[in-house]
Structure 1
Amino acid sequence: MTPAQTSSDVVAALRNGFATDLYITEPDLLRSYANDETGTYFGLPLAIARPRSATELSHVLVRCHELDVNVVPQGGLTGLVGGAISSFEAPELVILLDRMNAIRSIDKVGFSMVLEAGCVLETAKLAADEQDCQLPITFGSQGTCSIGGNVSTNAGGYNVLRYGMTRDLVLGLEVVLPDGRIWNGLKTLRKDNRGYDLKQIFIGAEGTLGIITAVALKLFPKPTQVETALIGCASVEDAMAFYAKARRNCTDLLSAFEIILRPGMELAFATKSDLKDPLENPCPVYILMELAAGNGISLRGVLESCLEDAGDLILDGVIAMSKAQAMGLWAYRETMVAGQSAGGAYYRTDVSVPIKSIPAFLDDALSSLANLLPNGRPITYGHVGDGNIHLNVIPPTDWSMEQRKALFVQAEYLIFAAVDRFGGSISAEHGIGRSKKSAFLQRIDPITLDLFKQIKRIFDPDERLSKGRIFDL
């Protein structure tokens, strides 16, 4: 946007020639799209475009190029790194794909589905379920987040252990490039070895290289048996030794293996009064595990054999006897996550380290926090099977925002330093966006950053799309 142009001039030029309902411009409505789930970032959009098709979006991006207007795609606003919020300094046009929400096809023989980027994840999962198939992407925000956002951020979740990240489930993409061209890579082929795999460029790029408008995803046979158990262990070391046994004994039947340290369980009890410790004796470490399979085997027998083989590694445990009881066990984890925000803003991470290093990493990081940040309350949980640990820190409830921000800076320094010592990553699943940009740039090597910039220049040389996210040209 040039200095001579006012916002109203630009919006009027954007709207010219398009259907009257393509753009949202009313200030009260724009505020609904100015924050993400963190509540940390605020950016009032210049306007919001709601295209009905890739072709209509293409025309919008061509107009943005002509008018020198920057854009940012936005999904269900469940992001945690500020990547989908309009810039506060220079308002951007938000691209909202909620109208592009169709499930185009489900192939029960080839186990795949094609759907538009605005489709809510839970809607897609239910549609697959109705066809006796499973879409295994699973996490707490699935009732709100959109498929396009899941793919753009390479979302993780509970089932990465068995099915991989979202990246591993994508067969093909349709993408509108920053200059308005439409790349059609929307294939459901399982094997296609014709040169570069371009779809992987856009997966996890956080909307900086193109706007995903449709996705082809792998499906799996719907499990006919699911077994869920909550296990108590004396230490993280014992929990990891149990994981190694469970991984071997259950092989690929093991679909989730979540770790929760005792403070996280206590937070769940405090958040929801009807949640009591399901184990007879309190344990320092809890494991929430799930197995899934089809017919032909006794899944309960596999689970029981696995628990018997664990021996002294397990202090106590409970197996869900029904689907309702299984949901009750998962409620501890979900309630703990929700309870973290009850006292106001808190510091959250999604770090990863080599799986074998989890015990030593947690000992290192938690010791640093206890010694140097005693006012912070660490809440520790994560996806053991993929090395992803959420080590969050809750400040005292009576602290001001200034005090909280100071604590957040210190906590990040201590936790990320521990991550570095164990050769880990500061972002396992949430992405970089704007909130981790500085920490990311401090750690990236010059060659990798140069390659990143060269890729960005190929697709978006004018930095029209998601400018300032991840890195700057």
Structure 2
Amino acid sequence: MTEASPISPTQLLEGLRAIVGEKACLDASADMQPFTTDYRKLYHGKALAVVLPATTQQVSDVLALCSRHQIPVVPQGGNTSLMGGAVPDDVGDAVVLNLRRMNQVQEIDSVNDTMTLQAGVTLQAARAAAEDAGRLFPLRIGSEGSCQIGGNLSTNAGGTAVLRYGNMRDLTLGIEAVLPDGRIYSSLRGLRKDNTGYDLKQLFIGSEGTLGIITAAVLKLMPLPSATAVAWVAVKDPHAAVQLLTEAKRIAGQAVTAFELISGPALTLVLESMPQWSAPLPDAHDWMVLIELSSGGDAQTLDATLMRILEEGMAADLITDASIAASLADAQAFWQLREEISDAQTREGGSIKCDISIPLSKVADFIQQASAQVMEMAPDARMVIYGHMGDGNVHFNPLRPKSAPAAQFLSEHYAPVSRAVDGLAHQKNGSISAEHGIGVAKRDDLLLCKTPVELELMWQIKQALDPKNLLNPNKVLPAPSAAS
């Protein structure tokens, strides 16, 4: 490896400020603190500086400068990561590069059904821009007001509509990314067919900023639905929920847009956190699902389709109660309850985050077996289980009992519970990270679920694109010595 040319902190700051401007280069601890602490306040790091570039060229110049002097760079979007992947470690030798100033929607092509935008655009702003043009960008996640498109791409975000529309890999036609040495790669062509060699954009999507910094993207747009139908449904158990989903897809086909599983403790947590909100059903239930249908047809036909799903589910003894949204406000209230589960856990503290993906045929058995294992290990834990059952993604999040301090619960139970849950998922041909990424929290767990060949190939890609290991170091990949 080429030796770094020496540079003092003062010289580095001068160089960075010359690139991004005085106000866009922060070095005071108080100013950097929001960028060096993660969303859940579990990971706290240090940085030499935080830079906020406004253009791809500025990103390129920053990376070229840092590469010459072998300064690590941590890419950051909205800093909503749950896995510690978007903040620096506590060594204090890195520069944080935050993309929030790169927030322009550059083009919406309503004929090609594409949107070209910078990576710092929030998901909420991207969705709004698409709707203003009479189109839909279908990615939906709870943090859409603060998460950014670059972060969504770097973690291959999924969310509540993957069942119908797919995740970010499926929704992306091209990207622009800056390599660790400052070179710029671009495939911003908006093509649905392009068989001219390797699909390089897929290397960067899901890589959590370890191979390059995504600065722009071309995303697919869809027709805006003209009708939606939403219901909050109590089911007997997760097995019944899977059966109900099968019936819903048989009856409604691709109109099934979302199918979200919610455990009783998950809903209770939200209602305790937000006492002004109302439960959708009069009685408490152990298991519920939130169903959304959407189509370009008329509302009356879609409502009839939803009613048929519920009636046949009742007749098959899968459903015990249901509430149909009678208005847009009702539908929004249902979704607000579902989307608040994550933030309610954050406020409560002491949640063990397991983001599992399982073949749909094995989801119910996984939930039953994993719950039994956790209750043996932490008998008083609140079983906050929810997620995107439609695509097999279960957020399995045992939460501290009210009587136990968060720090104590996590210290005693996080590692063994996480290891047991992830191990069971691996046994069932599942994944230990469906959509949250790996970051720091799950990095070493890859040793349990990836073969030596897989890890070797990933390191070879990392070394080919980032031979100095400067871009988001110590994230995603276990140390090569540990993998051998």
Q: TM-score, normalised by structure 1?
A: 0.96
Q: How does 1:358-437 map to 2 (within 5 A)?
A: 358-397=363-402, 398-399=404-405, 401-437=407-443
2:361 corresponding residue in structure 1: 356
1:438 corresponding residue in structure 2: 444
3-state secondary structure, aligned to 1:237? helix
State the shift of 1:168 in Å. Answer: 0.4
Asked if 1:328 corresponds to 2:330, the answer is no
2:98 corresponding residue in structure 1: 96
1:102 and 1:116 in contact (8 A); partners too: yes
State the shift of 1:448 in Å. Answer: 0.6
State the shift of 1:20 in Å. Answer: 2.9
1:145 corresponding residue in structure 2: 147
1:280 and 1:316 in contact (8 A); partners too: no
Measured against aligned partners, the alpha-carbon deviations of 1:146-194 in whole angstroms (never above 9, x if no partner) come to 1011001101100000000111000000111111111111111111111
Measured against aligned partners, the alpha-carbon deviations of 1:193-252 in whole angstroms (never above 9, x if no partner) come to 111111111100000110111000000001111110011111111111111100111111
1:101 and 1:120 in contact (8 A); partners too: yes
The count of residues paired between Structure 1 and Structure 2 equals 473
3-state secondary structure, aligned to 1:342? helix
Measured against aligned partners, the alpha-carbon deviations of 1:11-51 in whole angstroms (never above 9, x if no partner) come to 33444566333422222111121111121111122111221
State the shift of 1:303 in Å. Answer: 1.0
3-state secondary structure, aligned to 1:48? strand
1:155 and 1:166 in contact (8 A); partners too: yes
State the shift of 1:313 in Å. Answer: 1.4
1:194 corresponding residue in structure 2: 196
1:39 corresponding residue in structure 2: 41
- Give distance in 2, aligned partners of 1:5 and 1:349: 42
2:352 corresponding residue in structure 1: 347
Q: 1:282 to 1:21 in 2, by over 3 A?
A: closer
Q: 1:180 to 1:447 in 2, by over 3 A?
A: same
Moved more, 126-135 or 49-58: 49-58
2:29 corresponding residue in structure 1: 27
Asked if 1:307 corresponds to 2:313, the answer is no
Asked if 1:127 corresponds to 2:129, the answer is yes
- Give distance in 1, aligned partners of 2:29 and 2:347: 29
Measured against aligned partners, the alpha-carbon deviations of 1:365-394 in whole angstroms (never above 9, x if no partner) come to 001111221132211111111111011111
Moved more, 82-91 or 11-20: 11-20
Q: Aligned AA for 1:413?
A: R
Moved more, 423-432 or 295-304: 295-304
Residue of 227, 230, 239 corresponding to 2:229: 227
2:325 and 2:331 in contact (8 A); partners too: yes
Asked if 1:317 corresponds to 2:319, the answer is no
1:33 and 1:44 in contact (8 A); partners too: no
State the shift of 1:458 in Å. Answer: 1.3
2:7 and 2:69 in contact (8 A); partners too: no
Q: Aligned AA for 2:469?
A: E
- Give distance in 2, aligned partners of 1:208 and 1:84: 11
1:466 corresponding residue in structure 2: 472
- Give distance in 2, aligned partners of 1:53 and 1:254: 40
3-state secondary structure, aligned to 1:410? helix
Identity between Structure 1 and Structure 2 (%): 37
3-state secondary structure, aligned to 1:21? helix
Q: Aligned AA for 2:388?
A: H
1:259 corresponding residue in structure 2: 261
1:14 and 1:64 in contact (8 A); partners too: no
- Give distance in 2, aligned partners of 1:7 and 1:165: 41
1:376 and 1:407 in contact (8 A); partners too: no
- Give distance in 2, aligned partners of 1:201 and 1:2: 27
Q: TM-score, normalised by structure 2?
A: 0.94
State the shift of 1:342 in Å. Answer: 3.2
- Give distance in 2, aligned partners of 1:164 and 1:20: 41
* Unaligned segments of structure 1, at least 5 residues: none
1:286 corresponding residue in structure 2: 288
3-state secondary structure, aligned to 1:382? strand
- Give distance in 1, aligned partners of 2:417 and 2:378: 7
Measured against aligned partners, the alpha-carbon deviations of 1:249-292 in whole angstroms (never above 9, x if no partner) come to 11110100001121212222222223343224433210101011
- Give distance in 2, aligned partners of 1:278 and 1:18: 50
3-state secondary structure, aligned to 1:161? helix
Measured against aligned partners, the alpha-carbon deviations of 1:71-127 in whole angstroms (never above 9, x if no partner) come to 011000101111110121243111111111110000111111000001111011001
3-state secondary structure, aligned to 2:374? helix
* Unaligned segments of structure 2, at least 5 residues: none
1:212 corresponding residue in structure 2: 214
Q: 1:369 to 1:178 in 2, by over 3 A?
A: same
Moved more, 264-273 or 242-251: 264-273
Moved more, 360-369 or 83-92: 83-92
State the shift of 1:6 in Å. Answer: 5.0
- Give distance in 2, aligned partners of 1:407 and 1:444: 24
Task: Say what the alpha-carbon RMSD is for the aligned residues.
Answer: 1.8
Q: Aligned AA for 1:364?
A: Q
- Give distance in 2, aligned partners of 1:134 and 1:213: 22
Q: Aligned AA for 1:214?
A: A
2:68 corresponding residue in structure 1: 66
Q: 1:71 to 1:401 in 2, by over 3 A?
A: same
- Give distance in 2, aligned partners of 1:359 and 1:244: 13
Measured against aligned partners, the alpha-carbon deviations of 1:444-470 in whole angstroms (never above 9, x if no partner) come to 101111110111111111111111111
- Give distance in 2, aligned partners of 1:468 and 1:338: 27
Q: 1:120 to 1:251 in 2, by over 3 A?
A: same
Q: Aligned AA for 1:108?
A: S
Runs of 4+ more than 6 Å apart: 1-4
